Amino acid sequence: MGVVIRTGICSYGMSGKLFHAPFIDAHPGFELAAIVERHNNDSKERYPNAKLYRSVEELCADKELELIVVNTPTHLHFEQAKLVLESGKNMVIEKPFAITVKEAEELTALASTNNLFLSVYQNRRYDGDYRAVKNVVEQNLLGEIREVEIRYDRYRPAFGGKQHKEGAMPGAGNLFDLSPHLVDQAIQLFGFPNALFADLIKMRDDVAVPDYFELLFYYDRLRVRLKATVIARESTYAYVLHGMKGSFLQQRSDMQEQQLLAGTKPSLESWCPAPSSPDGLLHTEINGEVIRKETTSSPGNYMGYYDDVYKALSGQGPNPVPAEDGIKNTRIIEAALESMKEGKIIKFS
């Protein structure tokens, strides 16, 4: 496949174990050369050939590494990403890119000045259910789209124990954890909004930060609602699109995370099964004929992200998620916090 890119991972928590290490290890263009675990040796069981470091500083000092994945808690992103870039390494960084727009812009400028690659990890662009929605939009199957809702619902009625996700820490809360997925998808599908209004609330008593959000995006003739909750014992359609000719409803049905948790090894080829039953509903008018049919999405593949990163680093394609996309996402988060604080619509220039 050509040059092999020696890659290191900053953390071996859930994100490292599920979303990064298996894909880097399985892609022929990468070598999983080093992993940071501060106290444990878990990575040695599955990746015995990868060096084990105890700190990000040690990882960045490894002169053989060309690419480093910053997948640590959000409040550490800025300082660790800066360390990676100052050490002359290319970088993949987890969402959200940074806590503030100022931090995101500073990292973007640093990467540009040092002529380094910086890509934001947005794996949900490679979900099968999102791809089904994207296909409907790109084929213009609904006519002019006027109303959209994208949800990410979970049932976690008690504090999960992770302070960096639900504690009183910078970058904690579902606005930072889940909205980057939904915001990125909305912008990919419909562009950056003209304005937004946000509603944030704490639905559980034992968490320190809001665990529910609703963001309303304003476009010229379109409204997009992005919502997430942690008390949805019964799920509903994750994507609801209404256009002047028809509607499309799509469940959140991608099975990659479950397959990875079960130990399935990913590959460049299709490795995740398709939904076992229809997961979508299309009701629209095509060539004058009204149709209403159930649909089944094709399997997604997060390997597509790392394959696109490899192509970008080897000069065969564009950066799949450039820093500018991460800045847009952080700008939305800042505006949502301002909207909630002021109780008003925030307009973008």
Span 105-158, pLDDT tens digits: 999 999 999 999 999 999 999 999 999 999 999 999 999 999 999 999 989 888
- Asked if pLDDT for residue 79 goes beyond 90, the answer is yes
- Asked if pLDDT for residue 160 goes beyond 80, the answer is no
Q: What are phi and psi of 22, to 5 degrees?
A: -60, -35
Please give the pLDDT value at position 207.
83
| Residue 111: CA count within 13 A, CB half-sphere | 23
For the chain, give the number of residues: 349
Please give the pLDDT value at position 65.
98
- How confident is the model over 228-243, as a mean pLDDT? 95
- Which pLDDT band, with edges at 50, 70 and 90, does 164 fall under? low
Which two tokens mark 183? Answer: 């915001």
- How confident is the model over 173-181, as a mean pLDDT? 93
Architecture of domain 128-300: 2-Layer Sandwich (3.30)
5-121+305-320 topology per CATH: Rossmann fold (3.40.50)
- Asked if pLDDT for residue 201 goes beyond 80, the answer is yes
Please give the pLDDT value at position 235.
87
CA distance 7 to 347: 41
- How confident is the model over 226-236, as a mean pLDDT? 94
Please give the pLDDT value at position 167.
67
| Sheet bearing 247-250, strands edge to edge | 289-295, 280-286, 247-250, 239-243, 145-153, 223-229, 212-218, 195-201, 346-347
Give domain limits for the chain: 5-121+305-320, 128-300
CA distance 7 to 31: 6
Q: Which amino acid is at 32?
A: L
CA distance 66 to 37: 19
Do the domains at 5-121+305-320 and 128-300 have one common CATH topology? no
DSSP label at 10? S
Q: What are phi and psi of 46, to 5 degrees?
A: -100, -30
